[in-house]
Amino acid sequence: MKSFLCVSLLILLMPSAYAAELPGDSVDGSFLHDANCLGCHDTSIYTRKDRRIRSLDALKGQLANCSHMANLQFSAIEMQNIIKYLNDQFYQFR
């Protein structure tokens, strides 16, 4: 029973451990996201059942599309910080 609980705990912690490995600053990404993305949509877009983003590459592509459509120019570091924030908070891709 004790080993089952340990294995269960490890499985539950795995997604957050993988998310933590992604480079970037999630706090800075949160500020950038709130200042630039919430003008077009709220965070429910990330949690809806029919969301289109199913991979880290798709998330990066969508951020590039959104920034282009909103005429925003993020640096590579800012893009990575936003990706880190979105992945940590909503997606947990590996």
Task: Give me the tens of pLDDT residue by residue for the chain, a chain 94 residues long.
Answer: 554 444 443 444 444 444 447 999 999 999 999 999 999 999 999 999 998 899 999 999 999 999 999 999 999 999 999 999 999 999 999 8
pTM of the predicted structure, to 2 decimals: 0.77
Side-chain-side CA neighbours of 50 within 13 Å: the count stands at 0
Residues 6+ apart with CB under 8 A from 79: 60, 63, 64, 67
Three-state secondary-structure class, residue 53: coil
Residue 25, token pair as written in the block: 């600053």
